[in-house]
Amino acid sequence: MSSEVMSSLKKDYIYNLMLKGKREDGRSFDEYRNITIQTHVIDKAEGSAKVCIGDTQVLVGVKLQVGAPFPDSPDEGVIITNLEMNPIASPDFEAGPPKEDAIEMARVTDRGIRESGAIDLNKLCITEGEEVWIVFIDVHILNDDGNLQDASALGAIAALMTAKIPAERAGKGEDMMMPIRDIPVGVTVVDIGGELMLDPGLAEETVADSKLTIASNQNGSISAMQKTGEGMLTSEQLLKAVDMACAKAEEIREKYLLSI
């Protein structure tokens, strides 16, 4: 993701700061950078949101199309999540088909939405077994300054919450809002030298031993998790990370999402 080459000096610097309980930009370990969410940024999209976490910028657009359901769920709509790490967003990104990082991030974002039951998929059924709404969630990374995963998840749910189903345009009855049942929030915890931190900046993300993304729901239960990176985590760390992530998810939901 970020540059493979990171001087060991920088690594030492971040590690030594961590030992003193500090971070590069003066945040506490469980503090996010400044979050802003703008919705309705793209008129052509059925739903859209631009999320900034610090200097990280992500734009998410939701488009809807009528299509065929999957055979094993004939009365449910379909969610398709795609994420593009555009070369515009970082000197480390290259054009071309999505690489494994992008695929993983898209799938983790997708799981957070899907597994939480955020969208009432039954309401997206038009004719059982024949026609359903297909929800395309397209995540466009605009600037990578770390923690793209949380920005993507946040953008996805924010864009969905503003999405309007264009039924009239498609000749399928009246327009309606996206049937949202839950508001999952993904929070990434990084392990740097055994210490857990939220919202890693680019440098922190690069030196982190491993990352754990946890998506949690309004009732505090967990709907998706993913460990990324080459390090290991102990059970104690995992349980602590879950507590940190769920608490922060609650905070973010209240502050930024419920008002949408």
Partner 1 sequence: MANKPEKFIDENGLRLDGRAVDEIRPMTIEIGVLSRADGSCYLEWGKNKILAAVYGPRELHPRRMQKPDEAIVRYRYNMAAFSVEDRARPGPSRRSIEISKVSRDAFAPIVMTKYYPSAVIDVFAEVLQADAGTRTAAINAASIALADAGIPMKGLISACAVGKVDGQLVLDLNKDEDNYGNADLPVAMTQDGEISLLQMDGNLTKEEFKKALEMATEGCRQILEIQKEALKKKFASREEVVESLIEVDDIKLEEIQDEIEIIEEDLEACDFEEEEGIEVIVVKTDVSEPADETSEEEFTEFTDNEDSEIDETEDSEEEKVGE
- Site of interaction with partner 1 (CB under 8 A): 72, 100-101, 103-104, 106-107, 111, 114-116, 210, 212, 217, 220-235, 238-239, 242-243, 246
Residue from 130, 112, 8, 133 nearest 65 by CA? 133
The residue among 110 and 145 lying less far from partner 1, judged by its C-beta, is 110
The residue among 81 and 147 lying less far from partner 1, judged by its C-beta, is 81
| Spatial distance between the Cα atoms of 119 and 165, rounded to a whole number of angstroms | 12
Q: Work out how close the CB of 107 gets to partner 1 at its nearest, in angstroms, rounded to a whole number.
A: 5
- Bridge partner residues of 133 (DSSP): 66
The residue among 100 and 174 lying less far from partner 1, judged by its C-beta, is 100
Q: Work out how close the CB of 142 gets to partner 1 at its nearest, in angstroms, rounded to a whole number.
A: 22
Q: 68 is written with which tokens?
A: 């065929």
- DSSP helix/strand/coil, 24: coil
Taking CA 205 as the corner, what is the angle to CA 200 and CA 207, rounded to the nearest 5 degrees? Answer: 130
Q: Work out how close the CB of 210 gets to partner 1 at its nearest, in angstroms, rounded to a whole number.
A: 8
Q: Work out how close the CB of 226 gets to partner 1 at its nearest, in angstroms, rounded to a whole number.
A: 5
Residue at token pair 């992530």: 245
- DSSP helix/strand/coil, 111: helix
The residue among 174 and 230 lying less far from partner 1, judged by its C-beta, is 230
Q: 172 is written with which tokens?
A: 């399928």
Q: Work out how close the CB of 236 gets to partner 1 at its nearest, in angstroms, rounded to a whole number.
A: 10
**Please, which contacts does 90-96 make with residues 24 or more away whose CB atoms are closer than 8 Å?**
90/2, 90/141, 90/143, 90/144, 91/3, 92/1, 92/2, 92/3, 92/144, 93/141, 93/144
Going by C-beta distance under 8 Å and a sequence separation of 6 or more, which residues neighbour residue 243?
A: none
- DSSP helix/strand/coil, 157: helix
The answer to whether 249 and 189 are in contact (CB under 8 A) is no
The residue among 98 and 166 lying less far from partner 1, judged by its C-beta, is 98
The answer to whether 51 and 68 are in contact (CB under 8 A) is no
Q: Work out how close the CB of 138 gets to partner 1 at its nearest, in angstroms, rounded to a whole number.
A: 14
The residue among 17 and 222 lying less far from partner 1, judged by its C-beta, is 222
The residue among 7 and 235 lying less far from partner 1, judged by its C-beta, is 235
Q: Work out how close the CB of 104 gets to partner 1 at its nearest, in angstroms, rounded to a whole number.
A: 5
